[in-house]
Structure 1
Amino acid sequence: MEVTLLKENDYAETMANVVKPALAACLTEGRFDPTQAEREAGLTPLGGTLHYMAYDASKFDAENNQDATASFRGCIVLSHGFTEFAEKYDEMVWYFLLAGYSVCAIDHRGHGASARDTSDRCRVWIDDWRRYVADLAGFAETIGQQYAAGQPLYLYCHSMGGGIGAAVLEQHPALFDRAVLSSPMIAPQTGMPLWLARPLVGLLCGLGLGRRTVFGKKDFDPDAPLDLNDNPGASEARERYFHQLRCGNVDYQTYKPAFQWVRQALKLSRAVLAPNACAGIETPILLFQSGRDVWVLNEAQDRFTERVRGGGSHIEKVRYDDSLHEIFSMPNAILGPYVSRIFDFLEMPTASL
């Protein structure tokens, strides 16, 4: 599918004057109560609700947005990455709406405007990785299905959200019609072999340091200038837009993991890579891999792909050798083929899979 991308030379102006007003006209913000979903998963609810942003394709089309397809294709549930937030995906939501998809994006627990279990605005802590999975599945089964309105329900997720999404696909094989995993955290990059990281982090948590910040990680400083050298090769316009969103909202300033988050990320990885779990997937998957990824392990993505395929399900891996972890933050030369590939996959006849 041909996609008209936003121009990078006037990106901020287009976002402010065209994209954001159009998104606001079809946006409903709400709170999802995960209590029932967590209890069904055998978890004790921690309390609090999760913030979400839902964009209605029919309302978007009614605004007569240029290039809108005016043909409703279903709903995409969006699952963001570690220390991210739903609003970061404004541009991707714009493209999805133009193509005829409603979008429901949740702030995962401990992120954005959702419930938190720590007083540190920058730290992310979670007691059990299964809570993320129960929350996303419950959200998709209710709010997502509501916006799908009888049409297909799809999953688009990035990084941590991709690891959570993979677990949802394993535990709820009939929930989504198709899934896109973008640089998924099948296993996190810890700076050391996972066989060493697991017992070390487990020991630190056992010593009562689970809520402590991982060594070397700092708070987000909204007064510090953006260092574009942190992401060499990314789109400067997109990086500046993400940075401004984070600086302008204290809820968006999550920036560092607690040891317990790392422990649970490693447990999630082990569960997702279990051969019997991979074999249980039925949803067709498109997995994107970033050649210059420093946040997640590509080798784990390769094993996941092999095991899902070995279990008899359709999975296609697309690798962008020159892309950083966030493919959606790259210049148009990479973003264009990425977005087009997503739509080609979602619209491909089932018989062709």
Structure 2
Amino acid sequence: MNKVNFLGEDDFIRIMKTENSEFRKTHVKQGKFQSFDGATLNYYFAIPENATKVVVFAHGFCEFFGKYHEYVWYLYQAGFGFFFPEQRGHGYSEGKMKEPDVVYIDDYDTYVEDFHIFMDKVVMPATPEKKRILIAHSMGGAVGTLFLEKYPGYFDKAVLSSPMLKMKSVPSKLVRSLLSIYAFLFGKRKAMAPGQKHFDGVSVFETSSTKSRVRYDYMFEMRLKDEHYQTYGASIGWGLASYKVYDRIFKNASRLSLPITVFTAGQDHLIDSDGYTEFAGKVPGAKIIAFEDSRHEIFNAEEETRNEYFRQVLEIIDRD
């Protein structure tokens, strides 16, 4: 593995707009593929010469490639390739609603099958003799875990970063049933869920999932400039689909046999940590590593925590 110098706070914006921008222009390519139902989904990739390992990302709710510019640059510098599909309804992938800042999905099986098609059509043909590592964050952690359970053999190991194994503040089964009936009867599955809000261009760093102000500002600037990056609120359908994830993951968790590292955030306001304990008990190959001082996005934490996170991720990938 090549040596990687991690960015601090003071130099972040300048280097992202110079060296990182040049890296993306020179080495990162964009592609499209058709999923199982004809939806056209967008992805990015870059593979260094002589790379023997590639990372495939499964990103989180309302995320897009720009949020991972720093992450993929570190991977490339270390000598690893990457593939980054933008999930349905996110970034430049199809599946957006009439209100483009609202995220809808009918069922997480759709995300899983999108990922399956991407692996079969794009990743596998390009990496027949390379080791493949899954890196999945938040919602992507749920999608990635469901994929690993249903389709073994695609990955050699996995890194789950604050994965959505168990959500906080899940309504009771009765409330969920009533909400589902209401959404069905009145055609509201694609409407914005209660408590959600539209993108209004107002920074919310203080209550966000990151502790790095410059990284938040870098991402937020992209949101302001591009409607494709303004996904912001959950639809009722997305919420109903997400509430089912916990039971589905743990029903089949015993199928997981590959090495899995789960990075958790001690100040996570979105994910219930009880899910991590339960996951470790059911998956023998799972290792839990806690970053107690981090919010939900560990890769956007304060410098000491963030650098240790990246160091460990790179070591996991490099390890045979």
Letter in 1 for 2:224: C
Give the corresponding residue for 1:33: 34
- 1:328 is aligned to 299
Distance change in 2, residues 1:193/1:214 (3 Å): closer
User: Does structure 2 retain, via aligned residues, the 8 Å contact 1:308–1:315?
Assistant: yes
Q: Map of 1:168-317 to 2, 5 A cutoff? A: 168-189=147-168, 191-193=169-171, 195=173, 198-208=176-186, 209-222=188-201, 224=202, 226-231=203-208, 234-274=211-251, 277-309=252-284, 314-317=285-288
Match of 1:116 in 2: 95
- Please tell me whether the aligned partners of residues 30 and 51 of structure 1 are also in contact (alpha carbons under 8 angstroms): yes
CA distance in 2 between counterparts of 1:56 and 1:232 reads 30
**What secondary structure is seen at the aligned counterpart in 1 of 2:244?**
helix
**Equivalent residue letter for 1:48:** A
Structure 1, residues 282-310: CA drift from partner, whole Å, max 9, x if none? Answer: 2211111111111122211221221112x
1:164 counterpart = 2:143: yes
Q: Give matches, 1:47-126, under 5 Å.
A: 47-58=38-49, 72-126=51-105
Cα RMSD of the aligned pairs, angstroms, is 1.8
- Which 4+ runs in 1 deviate beyond 6 A? none
Does the 8 Å contact 2:66/2:219 carry over to 1?
no
Query: Aligned AA for 2:179?
Result: V
With the length of structure 1 as denominator, give the TM-score of the two structures: 0.85
SS of equivalent to 2:159: strand
SS in 2 for 1:181: strand
C-alpha spacing 1:339/1:197, structure 2 compared with 1 (3 Å) = farther
AA of the residue aligned to 1:8: E
Deviation of the 1:87 alpha carbon: 2.2
Q: Go from structure 1 to structure 2 and tell me whether the alpha carbon gap of 1:167 and 1:194 turns closer, same or farther (over 3 Å shift).
A: farther
Q: Which runs of 5+ in 1 are unaligned?
A: 36-44, 59-70
Contact kept? 2:135, 2:160, Cα under 8 Å: yes
The one-letter code sitting in structure 2 at the alignment partner of 1:291 is: G
Contact 1:187 1:265 in 2 (8 A): no
Please tell me whether the aligned partners of residues 57 and 84 of structure 2 are also in contact (alpha carbons under 8 angstroms).
yes
Q: Could you tell me whether the CA contact under 8 Å between 1:110 and 1:124 is conserved in 2? A: yes
Partners of 1:104 and 1:90 lie apart in 2 by 12
Which stretch shifts more, 295-304 or 175-184? 295-304
* TM-aligned CA distance change 1:147 to 1:336, over 3 Å: farther
C-alpha distance after superposition, 1:183-213 (max 9, x if no partner): 0011223x34554553343233333321111
Cα distance in structure 2, aligned partners of 1:131 and 1:325: 25
In structure 2, how many angstroms separate the alpha carbons of the residues matched to 1:75 and 1:210? Answer: 37
Deviation at 1:115, TM superposition (A): 0.7
What are the Cα deviations for residues 149-194 of structure 1, in whole angstroms up to 9, with x where unaligned?
41101111100001000001101111101111000011223x3455
Consecutive unaligned residues in structure 2, runs of 5 or more: none
Q: Is the 8 A contact 1:174 1:282 kept in 2?
A: no
Match of 1:128 in 2: 107
Give the conservation status (yes or no) of the 8 Å contact 1:178–1:285.
Answer: yes
* CA spacing shift, 1:232–1:304, aligned 2, 3 Å: closer
Equivalent residue, structure 1, for 2:23:
22
3-state DSSP of counterpart to 2:11: helix
Q: Is the 8 A contact 1:51 1:106 kept in 2?
A: yes
CA distance in 2, matches of 1:299, 1:344: 27
Secondary structure at the aligned position of 1:57 is classed as: coil
Letter aligned with residue 288 of structure 1 = F
How far apart, in 2, do the equivalents of 1:95 and 1:322 lie?
22
Pair 1:344 & 2:307 matched: no
Give the CA deviation at 1:279.
1.2
How far the C-alpha of 1:145 sits from its partner, in A, is 2.2
- Asked if 1:152 is matched to 2:131, the reply is yes
Q: Relative to structure 1, is the Cα distance of residues 165 and 57 closer, same or farther in structure 2, using a 3 angstrom cutoff?
A: same
Question: Secondary structure of the residue that 1:9 maps to in structure 2?
Answer: coil
Shift of 1:340: 1.1
| Residues 153 and 211 (structure 1), Cα distance of their counterparts in 2 relative to 1, 3 Å cut | same
Residues 265, 294 of structure 2: 8 Å contact kept? yes
Instruction: Please say if residues 3 and 336 of structure 1, whose CA atoms lie closer than 8 Å, have aligned partners that are also in contact.
Output: no
- Aligned-residue identity in percent: 29
Classify the secondary structure of the residue corresponding to 1:109. coil
In the alignment, the residues of structure 2 paired with residue 101 and residue 145 of structure 1 have an alpha-carbon distance, to the nearest angstrom, of: 16
Tell me the distance in 2 between the aligned counterparts of 1:261 and 1:214: 8
Q: How many residues align?
A: 318
Where 1:8 maps in the other structure, the secondary structure is: coil
